[in-house]
Structure 1
Amino acid sequence: MAAAIEDSINVSEAYPMKGGDGPDSYAKNSIEQKVVVDATKELLSKAIKEKLELDMFLPFNTFHIADLGCSVGPNTFFSVENILEAVKFEYQSGGPSSEIPKFQVFFSDKTLNDFNVLFNYLPQNRNYYAAGVPGSFHGRLFPKASINFFHSSLALHWLSRVPKDVMDKNSHAWNKGRIHYSNNQDEVLKAYQSQYADDMDCFLRARALETVHRGLIVLNLLGRPLNCIEIVGFDIFGSCLVEMATKGVISEEKVDSFNIPSYFVSPQELEVIVERNGCFSIEILETLPQHVLSGSPSAPAMRAFTEGLIKQQFGEEILDDLFSLYQQKLEEQMSIAESKKAVVLFVVLKRKTLI
């Protein structure tokens, strides 16, 4: 198991969101992610009020928070402020004798994440200690029982790797001519489902060791159905690669072996995975109103989170033409894109007390 986890971590380290602060950077193309942070603020506050057991943490001088998949840009700091505001309110509600602890916040993402740009956005008037923690959330990041509150928003749909079977020509799941599982044969979907289940189990096993007893994990997850807007965006994007292969710009073989390592989980699947892990209870599992997110990713947004993958597979020289074609196709199919909505799950997990 350890070797398998290590292998997955090595693969997942490779492609963070696009760094810098240019027009195609993630920092400048994560508005939709901020919409989710804002939309879940009240749910987050309510969850902290009802599910966070402060009496378990009172002996500690420092309350530790970790945001996993923080990427670059200011969104992670907005999330942390929302968490701190709610936690402080609960301490203050305990009366004058309730001492508010110090707060240590860990901002974690892949080792190649642009932490320099991230910390350029660090609020100057913050009232917490900040640190960057490089590494994949599919493995261990922190000492045992050291984190009171984990948070992750719109990050856990990224897999540690492309499922092996979808790249195997001898497999029934070989995903020839497509880059994702959308509208596809059952074998491809099952391969993605299996990879997600394995990755999520690694995630939960790591967090189970790192979370204090009865500590919380709050997640914003992109979910299914299969025709959600993210799937439509990948379909359009895949058609661009196929068209470029038809014109001889890139090889058909490289398109056939290219797949997006991303999966959108259903609530039922998530329940099974968490129950099988056994270390956490699901305290809250809600689907946000579908009007929260709408519209396929624009060309700059799609480029912000796929450029690393594209450069590795096809080279840097096709980037401008590829994303220009994507934007053109997106505008041509705008009526379809606008009719689809994203599915966002708000999930609260509590670490079970060990016997």
Structure 2
Amino acid sequence: MSAEEIRESSEAYPMKGGDGPNSYAKHSTYQREAAESIKELVTKEIAEKLDIDLLLPSNALHIADLGCSVGPNTFSAVENILEAVQLKCQSQGLTNPQIPDFQVFFNDHTANDFNLLFKSLPQNRQYYAMGVPGSFYGRLFPSASIHLFHSSYAIQWLSGVPKEVVDKNCPAWNKGRIHCLNSTDEVARAYGAQSAEDMERFLHARAKELVHGGLMVLIIPAGHPHGTPLSHTVAYLTIHLLEASLLDMVRKGIVSAEKVDSFNLPLYSMSPQELEAVVEQNGCFSMETLKTLPRVLSDDTVLSAKQFASHWRAAFEGLIKQQFGEEILDELFDLYHKKLEEELSIVKPRKTTSFLVVLKRKEN
């Protein structure tokens, strides 16, 4: 096995570490609420789809959370999965001595704040914990060693910005914009192609690591809901107003236009149809479940604006700091917060959609 097959190179976009006022640990309530809102659904999916015969030959059930960040959301997700597996075992007549131990692998980029993650581990946890640094777009585990993969709100992060969008000589050059939303068709195609390529790498790696019959449970933010104007979606609001804030700083002479022209967010929310196409092309998984999970932002405009600004600072601060320097961060996100307050007071509610995907590793 080549080193390239074990671990593909990928750019790192860790969330803001530590437990300070701008940290991801303090500002990831949306993801936590979304995961909690489908706890019963995930439990039902595991109860129906997980093959207990996979567990009996093993001394331990191996679970991996991909894109775990720093907590606490990953711990809630793992607890939900463990409860579901235990219920499944009990429903099959297994007693506690027959239920295998649980080994949980927490994965994220090497730059992730694993120190905080391990300091925050629940004291009363019923599993053994290990950290696995590296990009999930490459191999992370030995062949056929994982029984269940989980990932929540992580796969929308691309392995890198599409090369075409930063090439001045390419039709997809994304001058003056920071994403494919509300950009040209060429830019949108470049992002879509990058997402499809990344997802194929993701599935290729997981197909080797997952035992035959093992499950993969994914929560993925989707593109804008069918029939909803793009300008009324959370994704558009998030990126359009951050872009507008950066352009305000260009007009003030705080950052250069060239810096903005070469800055693009490595994010892409694929549609369920795009995911289905990649899964079919890969051929190693059966699509057991694909369910849309609509959500609506709170009507509390001021609170939502504050939460939103803090949430996206925790997510984007590292990228922005790398491109523009640390000194612009406070002013930029102050502008962003003000724009959010104004926009949310004009049009609400803003719609956002995610979907739950359950894939099973085929026997062949």
* Short-chain TM bin: over 0.9
Alignment of 1:48-197 (within 5 A): 48-96=46-94, 99-197=98-196
- 8 A contact 2:195–2:268 mirrored in 1: yes
1:21-80 C-alpha deviation (Å, 9 max, x unpaired)? 001000000000101110111111111111101112211111000000000121100000
Cα displacement (A) at 1:11:
3.8
- 8 A contact 2:296–2:349 mirrored in 1: no
Structure 2 counterpart of 1:300, one-letter code? S
Instruction: Note closer, same or farther for the CA distance 1:292–1:242 as it changes in structure 2 (3 Å cut).
Output: closer
Structure 2 counterpart of 1:180, one-letter code? H
- Gap runs ≥5 in structure 1: none
Matched, 1:40 2:38: yes
Within the candidate set 236, 242, 245, 1:240 is matched to 245
Within the candidate set 280, 284, 304, 1:279 is matched to 284
1:65-102 C-alpha deviation (Å, 9 max, x unpaired)? 00000001211000000000010111111215681000
Name the counterpart of 1:308: 318
Within the candidate set 329, 337, 355, 1:345 is matched to 355
Name the counterpart of 2:15: 17
What CA distance in whole angstroms lies between the structure 2 residues aligned with 1:308 and 1:63?
35
- Gap runs ≥5 in structure 2: 225-229
SS in 1 for 2:296: coil
- 8 A contact 2:286–2:362 mirrored in 1: yes
Cα displacement (A) at 1:289:
2.7
Cα displacement (A) at 1:106:
0.4
- 8 A contact 2:52–2:89 mirrored in 1: yes
What CA distance in whole angstroms lies between the structure 1 residues aligned with 2:139 and 2:9?
13
Instruction: Note closer, same or farther for the CA distance 1:259–1:202 as it changes in structure 2 (3 Å cut).
Output: same
| Count of aligned residue pairs for this structure pair | 351
Cα displacement (A) at 1:230:
2.1
Within the candidate set 232, 235, 243, 1:230 is matched to 235
In terms of mean alpha carbon deviation, does 173-182 or 219-228 score higher?
A: 219-228
Structure 2 counterpart of 1:348, one-letter code? V
Name the counterpart of 1:218: 217
What CA distance in whole angstroms lies between the structure 1 residues aligned with 2:191 and 2:145?
32
Among all aligned residue pairs of Structure 1 and Structure 2, give the percentage whose two residues are the same amino acid.
58
Alignment of 1:326-337 (within 5 A): 326-336=336-346
Name the counterpart of 2:227: none
SS in 2 for 1:214: strand
What CA distance in whole angstroms lies between the structure 1 residues aligned with 2:218 and 2:348?
26
What CA distance in whole angstroms lies between the structure 1 residues aligned with 2:194 and 2:222?
15
- 8 A contact 1:229–1:337 mirrored in 2: no
- 8 A contact 2:10–2:137 mirrored in 1: no
CA RMSD of aligned residues (A): 1.9
What CA distance in whole angstroms lies between the structure 1 residues aligned with 2:90 and 2:11?
41
- 8 A contact 2:297–2:350 mirrored in 1: no
